[in-house]
Structure formats: structure tokens, C-alpha cells
Amino acid sequence: MKNISVLLFLSLALLLNHQANAQEQNNGGGQLSGNLEANANFFMRDSLIGAANTPQYDRQLYGADAWLNLSYSNWGFDFGLRFDLFNNSNLLNPTSSYTDEGIGRWYIHKKIEKLDISVGYLYDQVGSGIIFRAFEERPLLIDNALLGARLAYEFLPDWQIKAFTGRQKQQFDLYGSVIKGAAVDGFLSGGEGASWSIAPGFGVVNRTLDDASMNSLVATINTYSKDDAFVPKYNTYAFSLYNTLTAGNFTWYVEGAYKTEDNLNDPFGTFNLGDTATFVGDKLFLADGSVLYSSLSYASKGLGITVEGKRTENFDFRTRPQEQLNRGLINFLPPMARVNTYRLTARYNAATQTLGELAYQVDVRYNYKRKLGFNVNYSDITNLDNDLLYRELYTEISYKHKRTWTLLGGLQIQRYNQEVFEFKPDAPIVETLIPYFDFLYKFDRQKAIRFEGQYMKVGKDDKGHLQDYGDWAFGLVEFSIAPHWTFTVSDMYNVNPGKNSPQDADTGEKLSLHYPRFDIFYTHRANRFSLSYIKQVEGVVCTGGICRLEPAFSGVRFTVNSTF
């Protein structure tokens, strides 16, 4: 498969190069574009902060990731190619090393009147993605492209039906299970000048396990006791009905989904060992699932209000149940917590819980004369037994003084279930209180300086110890010279160490450590380069509610982003 992809890449690259040269000579209509993203990490061992005992720190000392996209349009066709490279990469698994390279994606697209045809590695979704979403998140090395075919046909004005089939990508290979589905999407309004419209839709997706996955599943189930064993399913179907209603200043989206019985894995499952003995760990079980999600928004004259709610039960949908964490995901469940950007406010993140979650979120924004702004966000997430998973109150006030300076500040309060989100047994609910500020001053049209400051105060456990790593302070200074240069210096300091902070090997005393960072960014037209020295504490990295635990980092990082 990989050799075929490489041959295809080389053949099409030569064809596109030849055609591009011919079109240039003839002033033709072909268009070639692309972009490059590359990262190089130089690892510097620091056992004191936990940056050790992985292949990169112990012997490899270097790792790289790169993606080169090419897109070409001509003759009514769209072609795409992407070359992926991983050398000693820790993206796939932060505690191990991954090396491989090849064609990460190719596709061909053609529209013939009302028929839309696509083949290759496809990104798409049904509704909001609750039953199907093929997507890419490079910081987490998620690439769930579907290698297959998709047909879409506009059978009425503003009404489309689509169908797709294929297998999900697994780095440079494919999962064995076959995924196929269909969806109908439409749009209706009251006519020209009407203040309302609706955009209804319906979708269905089926996943059929391959024989190898089923055999592995059966082998595991055969080790269970009679009470825990079950007959696994080859086929699972997921259905979704959704609609967006727009009426004046209001927008209301609602989606309900149901999944037939599926083979699921519970990381906190309880095994019956006889009598009163039990064991907690990864446990397969059979169950159907459901999701109900809704979002209501209002926007008018500087005021914006959004209310979201979601109930999830047994809706983990994967290419095969043996896959865990972020691997083999077929669908995407909308996150129900705010996406925070500051270093300390983003330290604890709520990963979406696919087996059971009851959540709501309220966000209120108000801007007064473009000078004074307010934002309040509240989110509450529990499991279906009403046990707290995550709770956050976020407040923000900003003031802009003419074109000279801007001041932003606020307070965040969190409750975070570390036992569930980070799989740390018996860890207490982490409680945080974080005041923060961000001040930007412009000397002139080119030069500006920005300051950030944050402080995290954590609660104590039952024994009186500060939770997790304890209290933190963070400060940053950024100086920019438009349009080319940006320089940043920051430090994250463990002011009052907690029970998980590093300790002195001889005395056992908890250590207050610094985690400095220095960055230089250079931008020239469509090219951006960065060089950074980083010491980073262990933490959770999230993108859109999908998270992973990332170990500590110590070293130098160089990045390149270019568009052409």
C-alpha cells in the first residue's frame, strides 16, 4: 500500500509539474498551491522535571515532524497530495518514538453538473459530527481521513444527498473495518427578505468489523467470567437527525443521535472475580448509545449569549473497540467547556467523556462602544450518576484606550476530576483559583510590547497537602516589530509545590522549580519561522475537547510554516 502511494505521488507530481510549466508558457488556467509545516525538536534530558526515560531523551536526542500539502486545479478537476514525515516523533505516543514517512493523503475531486465526485483520503462529517467526522488535528496526531469514495447529488435547489464508503486511515496504513454512510441536508426559508430559515438534515453510518478485529475481540471476551461475557456484534448503525433554525437574532441548533448495540470498552470497568472480589480496569461490554445536543444563540448590538447542553450515554464509536484514547475515532462529540488560551487557565482541560456525560455551558459577551468588553462563561459537566467531572467559572473584562493600549483581566475558578481525565486513581477533585491579566501597549504602528501575568492557587487534599503540583505563577513579556519580528520571554514557577511536584532525591523535600521559555519568531511574507528554548511541566493538551496527557518537555524547538 505504501509503495503504491509513493509511486502515485511521484507520477502525479511529475504530471502536475509538466502541466504547470505548460500552462505557464501558454498563460493557461491551471493553479498549483500548497503549504509546508515542519517541526524539529532537540531534546535535552532533565530528570528533575520528568523529561527523561523516553527514547528521545535517553539516546535519540532529536525528533521531527513535517507535512507538505500540494493542491492543483485544472480541466475541471481538483487534485491533492500530502507528504508526511515523522522522525523519532513523540506525537503518536508521548512516551515512545515513531519514525515513518510517505504519502499521508491524496484525493481527486470532480463536479459534473449537480453530481459531486471525490475519491482518495476524504475529510467530511454528518451534522455536527456526532455520528461521523473524518478530520485532522496535528498537535494530537489525529488523522481520521476515510480512504474511499464519496458521491453527492443536488436533487433540489439547496437540497443534497451524499453517500460515502471506505476505511479509516491509520498513519500510513488502514484499519480493517469498513465504514459507510449517507446523509440528506437541506435549506428552507420564508423567501427573499424573510427573517427565518431552517437547515434540516438526517444521516446514517454503519461500521462493519473485519474478521481479525472480531477474532481478537472474541479471544478477550473468552477470558471473562460468565457474568461478564457477551456475544459481540459485527455491525453497528448510528442515526442522527439535526436542524438549524434561524429566526431574527436567534439561532437554534439541535441534534439527536442513536447508535445500535456496539462493542465498547470501559477503562473503569468492574470485573466480577467471584464472591465479593472485584477488579477495576479496561472491560469490554455491549450496549446501545445515544446523544442529545442543542445550542441556542442570541446576538444583537454588542450582546452575544450562547447556551449549550449535551447528554451522552455509551456513544464511543470507533473502527474497533480495542482502540483507546484518540485512536480509531469515527465520530466527534462537541466539547462543553470553554477553550482557554492562557498558560495557567488552560492547564486543566475537560476531555469529552464518550461513555457518560451530562453537561451544559453558558457564555455571555457584551461590548460597549468597542472600548469596554465583558465575558462570563460557566460550564458544568457530570457523569450520568451526577458525579462531578468539571466545573468552570470564567470572567473577563477588557478596556481599549484609543489605539495606544489595551488591558484585559479576569478570574477563573475550576473544579477538575483528575482521576477520570488523567486516569490517576484516587486523585481528589483539583480546585483552582486563577486571577490573570494581559496588557498590550503600542509605541507606534510597528512596535508593541505585551505583558501577561497569571497566578494559580490550588486547594488541599484530605491530608492537608496542596493538590497536584501546588500553586503556580506565570509571567510573559512579548515585544514585536511589525511585520517581521516577535520576541517572547516567559517563566512558569512552582511557587508552593504540591504532592506531585519533583522532590530532592536526598531529603525528599518538594522543590520549587522554574520552567522558562524563550521564543524568536520571524515572518517574511508567507513564511514564518520560530526558534524556542522550552522547559514545560507535564500537562494535558486539548483540541476541541479531544485531549491527551503530555509529559514534561525540555529542549529546543524549531518550526517552519510556509504557504505558496
Higher-confidence residue: 76 or 3?
Answer: 76
pLDDT of residue 28: 56
User: Mean pLDDT score of the chain, rounded to an integer?
Assistant: 92
Instruction: Calculate the dihedral angle through the C-alpha atoms of 185, 190, 191, 196, rounding to the nearest 10 degrees.
Output: -80
pLDDT above 90 coverage of the chain, percent: 79
* Residue 160 pLDDT level (bands cut at 50, 70, 90): very high
Residue 74 identity (one-letter amino acid): N
Instruction: Please state, in angstroms and rounded to a whole number, the distance separating the CA atoms of residues 269 and 286.
Output: 12
Single out the residue of 135, 122, 117, 102 nearest to residue 8, CA to CA. Answer: 102
Residue 502: how many other CB atoms lie within 10 Å? 19
Indicate whether 226 pLDDT > 90: no
Is residue 73 domain-resident?
no
List of residues 6+ apart from 536 with CB closer than 8 A: 492, 515, 517, 552, 553, 554
Cell matching residue 148:
474511499
The helix (H) or strand (E) run that includes residue 214 is helix 211-221
Residue 8: per-residue pLDDT = 55
How many C-alpha atoms does 541 have within 13 Å on its Cβ side?
Answer: 19
Global confidence as pTM: 0.89
Residue 276's pLDDT is: 62
Paired strand residues for 535: 554
From the list 438, 417, 457, the residue with the least C-alpha distance to 540 is 417
Segment 380-409, tens digit of pLDDT: 999 999 999 999 999 999 999 988 999 999
pLDDT, residue 11, reads 52
Q: Which of 490, 497, 527, 532 is nearest to 511 (CA)?
A: 497
**Omega within 30 of 0 (cis) for the link into 483:** yes
Is a pLDDT exceeding 60 seen at residue 291?
Answer: yes
Checking DSSP bridges between strand 235-247 and strand 196-208, what pairing results, if any? antiparallel
Strand extents, DSSP E, 214-355:
235-247, 250-272, 278-300, 303-313
Whether residue 19 has pLDDT greater than 80: no
Q: Among 275-279, 339-343, 463-467, 554-558, whose mean pLDDT is lowest?
A: 275-279
d(CA 350, CA 353): 9
Q: Which residue stretches of 362-520 are H helix? A: 418-421
**Cβ of 51: how many Cβ atoms within 10 Å?**
23
**Mean pLDDT computed over 470-488:** 97
- 111 Cβ neighbours under 8 A, 6+ residues apart: 76, 117
pLDDT at site 4: 53
pLDDT at 20 over 80: no
Is 30 within a domain? no
Report the distance separating Cα 331 and Cα 546, nearest Å: 11
Instruction: Quote the pLDDT of residue 422.
Output: 87
pLDDT band at 18 (very low <50, low <70, confident <90, very high): low
Domain count, the chain: 1
24 pLDDT higher than 80: no
Task: Give the residue numbers spanning the domain of 216.
Answer: 113-334
Residue 22: its pLDDT value, please? 47
Which DSSP helix (H) or strand (E) runs through 357? strand 356-368
pLDDT of residue 270: 80
Mean pLDDT for the stretch of residues 77-95: 95
Indicate whether 140 pLDDT > 90.
Answer: no
Phi then psi for residue 222, to 5 deg, are -65, -15
Identify which of 42, 56, 64 has the alpha carbon closest to the alpha carbon of residue 95. 56
Q: Which of 298, 415, 295, 413 is nearest to 361 (CA)?
A: 295
* 437 inside domain: no
**What H or E segment, with its residue span, contains residue 8?**
helix 2-25
Average pLDDT over residues 208-221: 95
Does residue 532 sit within a domain?
A: no
Is the residue at 411 inside a domain? no
* Mean pLDDT calculated for residue range 473-489: 97
**Is pLDDT at 10 greater than 80 in this prediction?**
no
Q: Give the other-Cβ count within 10 Å of 508's Cβ.
A: 7
Chain-centroid distance of CA 451 in Å reads 28
- pLDDT at 3 exceeding the cut of 70: no
Q: Which residues contact 7 (CB under 8 A, 6 or more apart)?
A: none
Q: Which residues contact 344 (CB under 8 A, 6 or more apart)?
A: 434, 436, 454, 455, 456, 472, 474, 492
pLDDT band at 281 (very low <50, low <70, confident <90, very high): confident
Residue 340 identity: N
For residue 439, pLDDT over 50 is answered with: yes
> Does the residue 191 lie in any domain?
yes
pLDDT band at residue 424, thresholds of 50, 70 and 90? Answer: confident
Confidence check: pLDDT of 264 > 90: yes
* CA atoms within a 13 Å half-sphere pointing along the CA-CB vector of 93: 10
HEC-encoded secondary structure of 59-107: HHCEEEEEEEEEEEEECCEEEEEEEEEEEEECCCCCCCCEEEEEEEEEE
Domain membership flag for residue 483: no
Give residue 555's identity as a one-letter amino acid code. Answer: G
Q: By mean pLDDT, which of 276-290, 434-448, 483-497 is the weakest? A: 276-290
Q: With 80 as the cut, is the pLDDT of residue 289 above it?
A: yes
In a domain, 187, yes or no: yes
Are 390 and 350 contacting, i.e. CB atoms less than 8 angstroms apart?
yes
Res 17: pLDDT = 52
